[in-house]
Chain A
């Protein structure tokens, strides 16, 4: 559903786009909740597009002082929006706590002489509760960095890499400090408190805040696809030239553009068939690890087993995802480019 402002940002010309991105960055530094951010930036984008259409220079809308414009534009985005943002994030924490607490209950269910009020929650709950202060620390670092980025106005890969390293060090430093202060995570709450907190939080959250307008479900790939297709054009045309030269070099007839598009589509179809193998591969690998672990070490219980499977699968899919994202143009983008070119040829 293309309701988010992200789909239309590329309709701005360079002048307006630069101004919009500055405001967008500034709004992100305000740490407001997603729906407010989405709404506010959507409003601004509409104004910019309307002004662009009438041929007005961007200074007519923003004035000459961009920082002043941003401050005034966001002057009413205050503590309430930041609190909403924190509550939105805590919702996910509450869900994780609830799921693992229920798993804890299932793990001990059926055991005789168990006093439910004395069961302690698992390490997962402890780590999550211990990580909340670390999360606040990294969020603070993130906010400081966003403010710096706004002042600098230029963000390069180098800057982002440096920032990621700094934030990781801050997170680990925080973990180290907390584990020493709290004496190795001695805070291990009784299970019933974790269950009660997570249930109550989620019920109250969805009752009071559940009816807020939800941000449209935006896939980044849908948003970036149009700009990627434009970006891909010279790369694909270069590829076509190379393939055509190769054909001639091997004494074959010169490859037409349609033949090139057919060839590209065949390659994409083949790549799409093999993708299912990569989805199943982590499950096979996890099965092998599980068998080896069962033989050598065994599991301490159902929860131990579930944690092992979930963590192994998550790690593998995460690594695969990272590798996929390093590929500049994926199968989907190539297919979209081929389809776009075929439409152009028909016209």
Chain B
């Protein structure tokens, strides 16, 4: 089964969760997700997701020159982002609990 389809549904929530831990920037978010096991699955999806989150008002960004030279965007979560993240956590828990019950139910058959 294609993992990217599964990932599409949860990526926004995961990225929002990383940002909620503190002000961060693109590479740091990628590194964090990679460290948690999302390696190789992101392939360019990060920035479109960040743009979507910004448009929805869940995150804000400020620009500053990076140590390497180009301008860098630093993202932080807004109050509506926090609310959206709480909702995502509840929905995700609900879905995973139900999925686990189904999958465990299949094993026991």
Contacts and interface: CB of A to CB of B under 8 A. Distances in A.
B68 A11 contact: yes
A5 interface: yes
Interface residues of A, number: 34
B69 A7 contact: yes
Interface string A3-17: 111011001000000
A73 B70 CA distance: 18
Interface of B is mostly: mixed
B71 to A, nearest CB: 5
A51 B34 CA distance: 12
Contacts of B44: 62-63, 68-75
A50 to B, nearest CB: 4
Given A51-B27, A60-B34, A73-B48, A45 B70 contact: yes
Given A60-B39, A60-B40, A49 B48 contact: no
A5 to B, nearest CB: 5
B70 A72 contact: no
Contact of A42 (B28, B30, B43, B70): B70
B51 interface: yes
B43 A65 contact: yes
Interface in A32-52: 39-40, 42-47, 49-51
Contacts of B39: 60
Nearest to A73: B44
Contact of B68 (A53, A63, A73, A74): A53
B105 to A, nearest CB: 35
Interface of B: 25-28, 30-31, 34, 39-40, 42-45, 47-48, 51-52, 65-66, 68-73
